[in-house]
Amino acid sequence: KKKINEEEREKNSGIPRGTSGWPFIGETLDFIASGYSSRPVSFMEKRKSLYGKVFKTHLLGRPIIVSTDSDVNKVVLQNHGNIFIPYYPKSVTELLGKSSILQMNGTMQKRVHALIGGFLRSPQLKARITKDIENSVKLSLSTWKHKHPVYVQQETKNITFEVLVRVLMSIGPSGDLNFLKREYEEFIKGLICLPINFPGTRLYKSLKAKERLLKMVRRVVEERKVALEKTDDKGLANDAVDVLLRDTSESNDTQQHLPLDFISGNIIEMMIPGEDSVPMVMTLAVKFLSDSPVALKRLVEENMELKSHKAQSCDEYAWTDYMSLPFTQNVINETLRMANIINAVWRKALKDVEIKGYLIPKGWCVLASFSSVHMDEENYENPFQFDPWRWEKTGAAINSNNFTPFGGGQRLCPGLELSRLEISIFLHHLVTTYRWVAEEDDILNFPTVKMKQKLPITIMPMDK
């Protein structure tokens, strides 16, 4: 009877319909089970058909409103009035630290976001980094012919890690790079784990790895500060460390440099969204293309044309050359749509908010599901089919609310353009250098998107 009364009250209050499932665990088990299945959006699909596009559930110990509605997602992402703050599981918040861009709110988040976004999106950086990306890609590809099989997920991770560390702190291949890679891998193992911290636990080991990372990055930041003080050259910043060190924008009415610990912490935390996502998009592009020979053929044609054009003119590639191939960009869009590397964002409401007639009560969480929107047949015909051509018809949709692989609004991914450039360069050199045959492999979607076998492929030279 009590439950019925509660439901009646919630219904009248405008809280979206839905069920809270079992006491305490709510619907968490079903949520996780569909995450493990080959169709992770099934949790959402089932409830969407019962309750509508926005529904109430209970996950990870708390009431949550799930939105599979792109208009509602947009309002959540825009976050006018700073109503929605990021909400992560406890293990993540423990590892991130309070002053991480991923957790910060208000003016400080805006300041760091604008600084990093301004740098990563600048044409000067893209022009400069193109050569480095090419070198990393070509060097890696040159080793592929000796490997039987090539594990695409592994290889692409090495390429993109090198690029990321260069962009963040100008560290090239070296002992420092190897140290960072090793310790970073240890650090992120704890992102999704039981939040218990004492010697021997996963969280403890990850926090220790973070301490070692911080020590190293702090040393780099200090060295760079000294170097910066000695020079008058305030041209384009070399990397994210430079950007953060130089900033003196006003905060609390005083001109302040960002503290060195803050910079070191944020450099490490910026590796989290950047490290795994780009190689996974590259890997899934290879996977989807292996399963779609017609799309692959068109991609090869377009890229071979650019390659022969470049060979004839003896020109180097400009970053704009890589970004100018329309079919290649459509392959990337389609991969991003289907891959759903970041399938949702989690927020907590600081006030009661009403969006499209749905009430999100103060203190409740909102899960803005991107994958549900990307895999909704109202938005995309045959959504489970890899079809790069669909973007020729709906080109404008790249900027629509129905396509948000990089999020949107206040926290729109500052690495968006850099990621696209990296993926374009990788695909160009891959498909103009080799043919390949992929072994059977499955996509795992939980807790993060991965290939079960790291996507083994067998490489053949172009002319065979």
Instruction: Answer yes or no whether residue 265 interacts with ligand HEM by CB under 6 A.
Output: no
C-alpha distance from residue 242 to each of 116, 210, 220, 224, 234 (Å): 10, 21, 11, 8, 10
**Binding residue count for ligand HEM, defined by CB under 6 A:** 27
| Torsion of Cα atoms, 432 then 437 then 443 then 447, to 10° | -60
Options 31, 55, 319, 406; binder of ligand HEM; rule CB under 6 A? 406
DSSP line for 191-217: SSS----STTSHHHHHHHHHHHHHHHH
57 binds ligand HEM (CB under 6 A): no
- Quick one: which segment of 198-206, 299-307, 400-408, 431-439 binds ligand HEM (CB under 6 A)? 400-408
Residues of each annotated binding site for heme = 413
Give rounded-to-5 percent helix, strand, coil for the chain: 55, 10, 35
Specify whether the CB–CB gap between 245 and 387 falls below 8 A: no
The continuous run of DSSP H or E covering 251 comes out as: strand 250-251
Q: Which is nearer to ligand HEM, 115 or 150 (CB)?
A: 115
Indicate whether 245 belongs to the interface with ligand HEM (CB under 6 A).
no
Element of type H or E holding 354: strand 353-355
| 44/92 with CB nearer ligand HEM | 92
Sign of the Cα torsion 119, 228, 107, 62 reads positive
Interface with ligand HEM in residues 278-317 (CB under 6 A)? 278, 281
| Using rule CB under 6 A, residue 70 touches ligand HEM | no
**Closest distance of CB 416 from ligand HEM, Å:** 7
User: CB–CB of 149/458 below 8 Å?
Assistant: yes
Tell whether the torsion through CA atoms of 383, 389, 395 and 398 is positive or negative.
positive
Give binding residues as ranges. 413
Does residue 415 belong to the site contacting ligand HEM (CB under 6 A)?
yes
101 is an interface residue for ligand HEM by CB under 6 A: yes
| Helix (H), strand (E) counts: the chain | 19, 14
Residue 102 in the binding site for ligand HEM (CB under 6 A): yes
Q: Distance between CA 373 and CA 390 in Å, rounded?
A: 16
Nearer to ligand HEM, 54 or 367 (CB): 367
Candidate list 17, 25, 60, 113; residue touching ligand HEM; CB under 6 A: 113
Q: Tokens 């329309």, residue?
A: 326
Stretch that binds ligand HEM, among 138-146, 271-279, 374-382, 438-446 (CB under 6 A): 271-279
Asked if 456 interacts with ligand HEM (CB under 6 A), we say no
What's the CA dihedral at 406, 410, 414, 417 to 10 degrees?
Answer: 50
Could you tell me the smallest distance in angstroms from the CB atom of residue 168 to ligand HEM? 7
Site stretch for ligand HEM (CB under 6 A), options 192-200, 266-274, 307-315, 390-398: 266-274
372 makes contact with ligand HEM (CB under 6 A):
no
Smaller CB separation from ligand HEM, 159 or 342: 342
Binding mask 418-437 for ligand HEM (x = CB under 6 A): xx------------------
The answer to whether residue 338 forms part of the interface with ligand HEM (CB under 6 A) is no
Asked if residue 243 binds ligand HEM (CB under 6 A), the reply is no
The encoded tokens of residue 423 equal 């993926």
- SS3 label, residue 326: helix
Nearest residue (CB) to ligand HEM, 206 versus 343: 343
Interstrand relation of 54-59 and 62-67 (parallel, antiparallel or unpaired): antiparallel
Q: Which residues bind ligand HEM (CB under 6 A)?
A: 86, 101-102, 109, 113, 116, 120, 164, 167, 270, 273-274, 277-278, 281, 341-342, 345, 405-407, 411, 413-415, 418-419
